[in-house]
């Protein structure tokens, strides 16, 4: 019962005015108002009637209809108040139909599984995940959950990285000591063979192959600069060592190096190839990217299987496989302010063992996204951890966790 809604407001027809309606024998617009009043009076005679009006139309206040205002004027105040009270009960019931149920935000997962279920074998890449997003280790190694491969997937940046790794590793494995006279041609031939598995993806040949040709030239020039002081190189070599824990268990730490350069001294240089951005020096120093330092510690203790026995590591470095020649000029080993590589490697190992002890004792939990500032990509376990539900509410907590 809002004004202009009931009774409805009469309108003038833009095409047929009132005199024309009369000449045509059509009823005047007011007749519809009379019919509405008749229907309303009939409905009002029912035993139980509910009169309603909307206080707002959109964002605008409305005016009660003249009938509503007249009814309020002639009705005794107690009777009108009782009618309004009954109406409020009905509107309250209607509001409850659309009222959302109370939501209790889910907390950040922080499971503490029994030590008997916790993994006693970690790779150096697992260690990075253990510091940044321990929940991934919990889901993959304890719950034994693995993400399913997509039914149809386009070639990704990860595929490109694996492809370039395979090519340069095959080349170094084929020529571990001396480079052939036609090194560039041999590398291109290896690349041709590797690219064949993407024959059904023409975009790979169109975009990746030209960049590989540029990368190949820079790689051979880089190889020629480095091979002079080397006895040989080894690729995709494993290393591992066992460390006793305070509860009597033994942790096996392992790693696989992309490339190990063995000098005539002999000392070692461990190189990890990247197609994306390598970890920063700060990330390595803080221990959030300890892959190379831990591999250096393992090499000093156990060497590399099938390549070399326990040998000190002189240098570690990340090398970017890129088509831009500027990237190949940045082949300086990682240097640490005031610490030797051996000291940093030992410190990272001690930190790892202390962290594993804390997890096994229950002092630490397998927290989801423990250090979000060091996580660049979404995890396949983020949905399992319900990250989107708690991340916005605990944004400040994430900053503290980093």
Which domains, ranges and CATH numbers included, belong to the chain? Answer: 18-96 (no CATH), 115-155+221-401 (3.90.320)
Distance between alpha carbon 299 and the CA centroid of its chain, in Å?
33
pLDDT by 10s per residue, the chain, length 402: 888 877 777 777 777 887 887 888 887 777 777 888 888 888 888 998 888 888 888 888 989 888 889 888 999 999 888 888 888 888 888 888 888 888 787 889 999 999 999 999 999 999 999 999 999 999 999 999 998 887 878 888 889 999 999 999 999 999 999 999 999 999 999 999 999 999 888 999 999 999 999 999 999 999 999 998 899 999 999 999 999 999 999 999 999 999 999 998 889 999 999 998 899 888 999 999 999 999 999 999 999 998 899 999 999 999 999 999 888 888 889 998 889 999 999 999 999 999 999 999 999 999 999 998 888 888 999 999 999 988 876 654 544 444
Q: Return the pLDDT at 167.
A: 97
- Cβ within 8 Å of residue 361, ≥6 positions away: 115, 247
Tell me the C-alpha distance between 321 and 327, whole Å.
8
Rounded alpha-carbon distances, angstroms, from residue 32 to 8, 38, 67, 127: 9, 10, 17, 80
Residue 346, H or E segment: helix 341-361
Q: Return the pLDDT at 394.
A: 63
Give start and end residues of each alpha helix (H) in 259-340: 281-286, 291-302, 325-328
- What is the DSSP code string of 141-198? IIS---PPPPSS----HHHHHHHHHHHHHHHHHHSSSS--TTHHHHHHHHHHHHHGGG
- Please answer whether residues 253 and 265 qualify as being in contact, where contact means their C-beta atoms are separated by less than 8 angstroms: no
Tell me the C-alpha distance between 163 and 226, whole Å.
23
Q: Return the pLDDT at 401.
A: 46
Tell me the C-alpha distance between 391 and 371, whole Å.
12
Q: What is the pTM of this model?
A: 0.74
Q: Which of 330, 328, 357 is nearest to 215 (CA)?
A: 328
Tell me the C-alpha distance between 388 and 198, whole Å.
35
Distance between alpha carbon 311 and the CA centroid of its chain, in Å?
39
- Please answer whether residues 376 and 132 qualify as being in contact, where contact means their C-beta atoms are separated by less than 8 angstroms: no
Q: Where are the beta strands (DSSP E) in 15-105?
A: 56-57, 60-61
């Amino acid at each position: 019962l809002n004004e202009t809604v009931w009774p409805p407001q009469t309108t003038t027809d833009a095409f047929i005015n009132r005199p024309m309606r009369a000449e045509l024998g059509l009823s005047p617009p007011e007749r519809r108002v009379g019919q509405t009043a008749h229907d309303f009076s009939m409905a009002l005679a029912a035993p139980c009637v509910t009169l309603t009006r909307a206080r707002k139309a959109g964002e605008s206040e409305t005016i009660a209809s003249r009938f509503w205002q007249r009814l309020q004027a002639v009705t005794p105040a107690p009777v009108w108040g009782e009618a309004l009270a009954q109406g409020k009960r009905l509107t309250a019931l209607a509001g409850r139909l659309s009222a959302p149920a109370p939501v209790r935000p889910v907390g950040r997962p922080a499971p503490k599984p029994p030590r008997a279920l916790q993994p006693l074998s970690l790779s150096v890449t697992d260690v990075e995940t253990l510091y940044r997003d321990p929940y991934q280790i919990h889901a993959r190694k304890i719950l034994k959950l693995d993400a399913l491969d997509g039914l149809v997937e386009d070639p990704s940046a990860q595929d490109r990285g694996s492809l370039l790794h395979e090519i340069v590793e095959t080349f170094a494995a084929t020529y571990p000591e001396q480079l052939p006279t036609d090194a560039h041609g041999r590398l291109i031939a290896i690349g041709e063979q590797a690219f064949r598995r993407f024959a059904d993806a023409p975009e790979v040949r169109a975009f990746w192959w030209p960049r590989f040709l540029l990368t190949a030239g820079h790689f051979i020039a880089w190889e020629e600069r480095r091979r002079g002081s080397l006895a040989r190189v080894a690729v995709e070599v494993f290393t591992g060592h066992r460390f006793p824990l305070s509860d009597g268990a033994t942790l096996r730490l392992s790693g696989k190096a992309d490339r190990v350069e063995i000098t005539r001294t002999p000392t070692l240089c461990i190189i990890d190839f990247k197609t994306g951005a390598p970890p920063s020096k700060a990330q390595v120093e803080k221990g959030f990217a300890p892959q190379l330092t831990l591999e250096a510690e393992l090499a000093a203790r156990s060497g590399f299987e099938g390549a070399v026995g326990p040998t000190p590591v002189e240098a570690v470095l990340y090398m970017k496989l890129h088509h831009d020649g500027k990237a190949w000029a940045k082949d300086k080993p990682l240097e640490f302010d005031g610490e030797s590589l051996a000291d940093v490697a030992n410190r990272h190992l001690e930190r790892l063992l202390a962290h594993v002890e804390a997890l096994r004792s229950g002092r630490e939990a397998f927290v989801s996204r423990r250090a979000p500032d060091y996580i660049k990509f979404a995890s396949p376990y983020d949905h399992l951890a319900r990250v989107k539900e708690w991340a916005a509410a605990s944004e400040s907590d994430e900053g503290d966790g980093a």
